[in-house]
Amino acid sequence: MLIIPAIDIKDGKCVRLTRGNFDKKKIYLDNPCDMAIIWRKQNAKMIHVVDLDAALTGEPVNFAKIQEIVSTLDIPVQVGGGIRSVEAVVQYLDIGVSRVVIGSAAVTNPELVETLLKRYSASQIVVGIDADNGIPKIKGWTESCSMKDYELALDMKKLGVKRIIYTDISCDGMMQGIGLESTKRFAEKAGMRVTASGGVTGSEDLRKLKALEKYGVDSVIIGKALYEANFPCQKLWYNYEKGMGIDHNFSSALRKECCS
């Protein structure tokens, strides 16, 4: 299963939210590209980037930051957040973004998805469905839809979409475990390639997700669990720094271990 580190950008900084709440924001690094370099040093094969400001405004507020990440890394970068026009998609693909994630526009303007898939391959255009109790949320998770998550997926499937990035909002950023049953239910009903997202807390969640591969779940986006060093190798680094009496914050500790 492909593990994809997430980089969320708000006000130009690398942050994590809790259940998409912009009032519950934690800043990890001032420069998101530095974070991308750290994850690459940890052998990431792909990076997932979200422009949180754009998710609210529909404008590519952090475009320059994303361009810096894409031009610096030697691995694919997929980007989401406020992408609601053909022009926005072209802008991202032109700078080397590998995949563009269509979220709110899949609900409000499905014709956009249809148009994009006539112009680009299904490997370049994926749809993100962020659901709370099975109901998709859009526009930075501030509005609900009138359909079920799997119904939206099936509509997208008819248009030629091959992959869905599925986020269980109730679990996102909570550090209480992946929404295994909701993800399984969605994947079974959708019958598509699924990238799981939201709630991964540690290695046990990855073992549980492995069982969903037969339903099409072949990858997972991980955010806060990586940032909080919830995986064994990261804990080793943290414990080493602490044992040496070093004043270790997230950026200095991981940067020292990963970038040396």
pLDDT one digit per residue (tens) for the chain, 260 residues: 899 999 999 999 999 876 656 666 789 899 999 999 999 988 899 999 999 999 888 899 999 999 999 999 999 999 999 999 999 999 999 999 999 999 989 999 999 999 999 999 999 999 999 999 899 998 777 788 889 999 999 999 999 999 999 998 877 655 667 889 999 999 999 999 999 998 888 888 999 999 999 999 999 999 888 988 888 766 655 565 555 444 444 444 444 434 33
CA distance 229 to 238: 8
**Which residue in the list 51, 130, 149, 205 is annotated as catalytic?**
130
**Which residue in the list 8, 51, 149, 205 is annotated as catalytic?**
8
Nearest to 62 by CA among 96, 98, 26, 88: 88
Q: CA dist 2 to 37, 74, 124, 194, Å? A: 18, 17, 17, 11
Record the pTM: 0.86
Domain segments of the chain: what residues?
Answer: 2-228, 229-260
> Considering the domain 2-228 in this protein, what is its CATH number?
3.20.20.70
The reply to whether 130 belongs to the active site is: yes
Exposure pattern of 208-240 as b/e (b: 16+ CB <10 Å)? Answer: ebeebeebbbbbbbbbbbbbbbbbeebeebbee
Please tell me what DSSP assigns to residue 248.
-
CA distance 27 to 121: 35
Say if CB 80 and CB 36 are below 8 A apart. no
Dig out the tokens for 63 from the structure: 């475009």
